[in-house]
Structure 1
C-alpha cells in the first residue's frame, strides 16, 4: 500500500487531503508540529510531529513514505520569510528518505501580486521546480472559507465588504484536496504545475449578496474602490485563471453545508 504523508495535515487543506487520501485507500501519515488530541484525530491516520522550518524530526517522519503532499502554510511575516527554506528542508529530507515524488499546494496567480504571502508562495514554487525528486505544484484559487472570513470581518459594523470591479473564482477545499490526491496518485517525472479553480467566476458583489442572504445578515454590502497595485490587479483580472475550472462545489452549496469538514482558513 502506498504511504502518503501530508505535511501540514492538521490544517484546512491538509486535513481535507488526509480525508480524501483515506477514502482512496492510501496509508496516510499526517505531519505537523504538534499531533492533534485524540478527540479530533481520525481513525486510520498516523500522526507524527516534525518541524520543516528547522528540520527537526523530518527524517523519522518521512521514513517509509512514498509520496509527500505539502500543504504547509506560512502566514505571519517571520513564517513567510522561512517558508521557502522550510520547503527546501522538506524536499531534501524526502529525497534522502527515498520518497518518489512530492506535490505542493500553492495559490493561483501568486506571481501576479507583490505581497508577502504571495511572494512566499512563488519562492517556494521555485524550490519545488529545482528539487532533485519529481515534483508537482497545484495552484488553487481562493477558498470559499476565505470569502466567508472577509464578509464576516466587518459585520459587527453592519457592513459586508466588497471590491468594485473584482471578479473571483473561489473553490471548495474538498475539490482542492481531490486535485492534490489526483496528482499524488500519478507516476510522473520532472516538474509540473497546474491550476484549479471553482465552477463559477462572478463579481465579488454577487458572492457578498449570496453570503448575506444565506447567513441572514442585516449588514449592507459596501462596494469599495481599490486603488494602486491592488486595484489594477483586480481591474485587469490578473487574479483569474480562465479555463482552469475544476471544482464542482459552488459557494452557495458551501454556505448551505459550511458546518461540514474543517473550518480553518487557507
Structure 2
C-alpha cells in the first residue's frame, strides 16, 4: 500500500515511515526538503498519485497566532483538495489532547481550524489526539524560565514518548478510518511542574522549578484537566524513566 506522510522527515514522521516500510508498504516522506510543499502545492499531486493513505504530521514553522492559523488552514485545504483528486481513501491527522479546551492559545485555535477542514472534507478520516511528547520537556522548561527559575503550571500532563506515538500512527495507517477522534497518552499522569523538575534534575540542570498556576502554556492558562484525557485513551508503554534512559540525551 502506498502511504504518504506529510512532515515525513520530522521526529514522528521519520519513525512512522520506518515502521511502515518494515511492514512492506511504499512510504513517501513528503516535506519541503523532499520537494513537496502543502502551502504552495509544489509536488503535492505527484506525491499523492496512487496513494491509499495520507498521514498529516506537518507543523507550522511559526507559532505566531496569525501565521500558525494561516499555515494550518492553507495546508489543510490544499491537502484535502489534492487527496480528493488522487482518490485517497484515508486521511490521518495528528492533533492534541485538549485542543478544544484552550481557546486562548493561538496554536490550539489553529489546530481546531485544521480539524474542522478535515471533518468537512467528505474524506474518510481519523484524527489522533495525543498528549505532549516527552521530547518537548526541554522546550517547555525553557519557555517558563525567568533567570534561574522555571515557572510552570501545576496542571496535570500525561506525556508520551515519540516511539509510542509512531507505533500508534503506523497502526492507524493500516486500520479503517474511524471518522472521528481517537486519543493516545503516556502511561503516567503527573503535574507539569513536577515532571519538568524531575527532568531537569536528571539532566543535572540546576534551575529551580516553581508551581505557578498563572504561568501560561502556549498563551493559555491551564486547568488540572486541560491537557489530559479521560476518554479511554490508548496508553503508551514507555515510562519517563525508560525514555530518559534511552532517548533524552540524544
- TM-score bin (small chain): 0.7 to 0.9
Check whether the contact 2:96–2:131 (CA below 8 A) recurs between aligned residues.
yes
Distance (whole Å) between structure 2 residues aligned to residue 260 and residue 23 of structure 1: 26
Match of 2:57 among 40, 60, 71: 71
1:104-253 to 2 correspondences below 5 Å: 104-114=93-103, 115-153=105-143, 157-163=147-153, 165-188=154-177, 191-226=179-214, 230-231=220-221, 233-235=222-224, 237-242=225-230, 243-253=232-242
1:145 is displaced (CA, Å) by 1.6
Query: 1:96 aligned to 2:85?
Result: yes
Query: 1:84 aligned to 2:73?
Result: yes
1:174-225 CA-partner distances (Å, limit 9, x unpaired):
111111121110133x722111111010112331232123111222222223
Distance (whole Å) between structure 2 residues aligned to residue 7 and residue 220 of structure 1: 38
1:33 is displaced (CA, Å) by 0.8
DSSP-derived class of the 2:223 partner: helix
Check whether the contact 2:39–2:75 (CA below 8 A) recurs between aligned residues.
yes
Q: Mark the runs of 5 or more structure 2 residues left unpaired by the alignment.
A: none
1:155 is displaced (CA, Å) by 6.6
1:15 is displaced (CA, Å) by 1.6
1:87 is displaced (CA, Å) by 1.1
DSSP-derived class of the 1:111 partner: helix
User: Alignment length, in residue pairs?
Assistant: 243
1:155-179 CA-partner distances (Å, limit 9, x unpaired):
793334432x311111111111111
Check whether the contact 1:74–1:83 (CA below 8 A) recurs between aligned residues.
yes
RMSD: 2.3
Distance (whole Å) between structure 1 residues aligned to residue 118 and residue 144 of structure 2: 37
Distance (whole Å) between structure 2 residues aligned to residue 154 and residue 227 of structure 1: 8
User: Normalising to structure 1: TM-score of the pair?
Assistant: 0.83
User: Normalising to structure 2: TM-score of the pair?
Assistant: 0.88
DSSP-derived class of the 2:129 partner: strand
Check whether the contact 2:69–2:110 (CA below 8 A) recurs between aligned residues.
yes
1:21-47 CA-partner distances (Å, limit 9, x unpaired):
223222111100112xxxxxxxxxxxx
Check whether the contact 1:170–1:200 (CA below 8 A) recurs between aligned residues.
yes
Check whether the contact 2:144–2:215 (CA below 8 A) recurs between aligned residues.
no
